[in-house]
């Protein structure tokens, strides 16, 4: 007697997806299934671990090497642990709704084992089945995949649990049936063709960054007269771009205002921290976020109110390097300043009173800007390049630069 064999069933990981072109779909997948589909990049770059890995994992590592860069010894690799910590905080609810991870771009080397009919007629929703041992590689978002692996391997290290992580669904797009050359092209396009956001601009959008918080608070606190109306200074702060154009109605960028805050917090040290994220543990010793808010908001509000006519006239005061240097001077009026000449608010304003803020070479060339042969100034230098010279010129009126910016 023989047993009748069952009807052929394709076994593997089933994904519910919606196609957006004949060879690509989008969907979400439970985290445990994602980690089964895409092995840890760190493991695949560990030659000792790979020696004892299964044939499927070794095959996956070979395919991955065709379309991905090395994780080890790169900035990408160094970001994995901090990314895992960020994700864990999000999963734990610490960021509220203000957090996100981008969809992961996956490439299946080959074709799905099966594609179902539409689950709901006319919706496009289907299931596809990825066969066991079919190599699936993250061609964009691999740092995130590595972070999810690190998090799932040791959730307690990041203050979360397997139960919370197992409930997570991760968005993805999946390409299949593409050649290695096409997969490489997608990797290139995703990493090169897009215009990356500058780090300073990205920082200005970070609502958990204390520098950004303070810049927003100061801008909302200052009230100025504009076109016959009293409005918050925030109405004249450009929040989307790093640089102002001649046609912009705004008078300063948020990223430049944040530079003022960072150097007011840290003094000269802030010049090298201008593009770093500032959390509470990065504040000066003994200073809490609340301390910084209580002291800097009124101090910077008074300063901006005093200098508003120069902002409104689009003078040098709105240049990032000038604001960075100005923040170093403001730092000397804070209770936590540890070096240099201490100032009170009135002394600070008297020190700035004679400064010539006009955008003219005779005042700012060689300090915060460079002049071309026609005498036209370029304030393109950043905080690190020019902020220190500006600070010295503002703080020390009797020096060469100090006399120059005052027209003496």
- Separation CA 53–CA 177 (nearest Å): 26
Neighbours of 359 (CB within 10 A): 19
CA angle (37, 40, 42) in 5-degree steps: 160
What per-residue confidence (pLDDT) applies to 201? 66
> Element (H or E) spanning 28, and its range?
strand 24-30
- SS3 assignment, position 224: strand
Backbone torsions φ then ψ of 175, nearest 5 degrees? -105, 140
In this structure, what token pair is assigned to residue 109? 């080397």
Helix runs in 157-209, H state only: 162-166, 180-188, 199-204
Can you give the pLDDT at residue 73?
Answer: 56
> Which 3 state secondary structure label does DSSP give 195?
coil
Q: Report how far apart, in Å, the C-alpha atoms of 289 and of each of 204, 225, 250, 277 are.
A: 17, 30, 28, 14
The predicted structure's pLDDT at residue 385: 81
Query: Quick check: helix, strand or coil at residue 366?
Result: coil
Q: In this structure, what token pair is assigned to residue 274?
A: 């201008």
Q: Identify the pLDDT of residue 176.
A: 95
Which of these, 352, 401, 388, 392, lies nearest to 270 by C-alpha position?
388
Asked whether the whole model's pTM tops 0.85, one would answer no
Tell me, what's the pLDDT at 74? Answer: 60
Per-residue pLDDT tens digits of the chain, which is 408 residues long: 678 776 666 788 999 999 999 999 999 999 999 999 999 888 888 778 778 778 888 888 888 888 887 776 566 677 899 999 999 999 999 989 989 999 999 999 999 999 999 999 999 999 999 998 889 999 999 999 999 999 999 999 999 999 999 999 999 999 999 999 999 898 888 877 776 666 656 766 777 888 999 999 999 999 999 888 999 999 999 887 778 887 888 999 998 999 999 999 999 998 988 777 778 878 888 889 899 999 999 999 999 999 999 999 999 999 999 999 999 999 999 999 988 788 999 999 999 999 999 999 999 999 988 888 777 878 876 778 899 999 999 999 999 999 999 999
Strands 104-108 and 136-140: antiparallel
**In the prediction, which pLDDT does 75 show?**
64
The terminus-to-terminus CA distance of the chain in angstroms comes to 111
């Amino acid at each position: 007697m023989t047993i009748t064999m069952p009807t052929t069933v394709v076994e593997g990981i089933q994904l519910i997806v919606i196609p957006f072109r004949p060879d690509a779909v989008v969907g979400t997948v439970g985290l445990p299934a994602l980690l089964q589909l895409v092995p840890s990049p760190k493991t695949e770059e560990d030659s000792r671990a790979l020696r004892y890995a299964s044939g499927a994992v070794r095959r996956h590592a070979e395919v991955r090497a065709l379309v991905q860069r090395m994780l080890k010894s790169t900035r990408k690799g160094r970001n994995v642990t901090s990314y895992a910590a960020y994700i864990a905080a999000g999963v734990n609810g610490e960021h509220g709704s203000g957090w996100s991870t981008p969809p992961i771009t996956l490439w299946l080397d080959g074709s799905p084992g099966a594609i179902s009919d539409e689950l709901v007629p006319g919706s496009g929703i289907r299931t596809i089945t990825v066969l066991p041992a079919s190599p699936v590689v993250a061609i964009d978002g691999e740092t995130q995949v590595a972070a999810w692996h690190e998090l799932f391997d040791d959730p307690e290290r990041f203050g979360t649990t397997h139960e919370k992580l197992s409930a997570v669904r991760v968005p993805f797009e999946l390409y299949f049936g593409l050649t290695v050359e096409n997969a490489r092209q997608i990797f290139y396009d995703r990493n090169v063709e897009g215009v990356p956001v500058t780090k300073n601009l990205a920082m200005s959008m970070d609502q958990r960054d204390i520098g950004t918080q303070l810049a927003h608070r100061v801008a909302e606190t200052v009230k100025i007269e504009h076109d016959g109306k009293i409005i918050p200074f925030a109405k004249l702060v450009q929040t989307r771009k790093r640089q102002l154009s001649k046609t912009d109605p705004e008078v300063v960028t948020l990223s430049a205002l944040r530079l003022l805050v960072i150097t007011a917090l840290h003094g000269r040290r802030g010049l090298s921290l201008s593009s770093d994220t500032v959390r509470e543990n990065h504040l000066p010793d003994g200073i809490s976020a609340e301390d910084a808010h209580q002291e800097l908001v009124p101090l910077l509000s008074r300063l901006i109110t005093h200098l508003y006519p120069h902002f409104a006239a689009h003078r040098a005061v709105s240049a990032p390097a000038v604001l960075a240097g100005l923040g170093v001077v403001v730092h000397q009026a804070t209770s936590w300043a540890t070096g240099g000449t201490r100032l009170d608010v009135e002394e600070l304003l008297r020190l700035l009173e004679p400064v010539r803020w006009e955008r003219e070479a005779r005042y700012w060339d060689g300090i915060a800007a460079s002049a071309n042969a026609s005498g036209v100034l370029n304030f393109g230098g950043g905080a690190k390049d020019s902020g220190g010279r500006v600070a010295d010129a503002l703080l020390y009126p009797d020096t060469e630069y100090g006399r120059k910016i005052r027209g003496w």
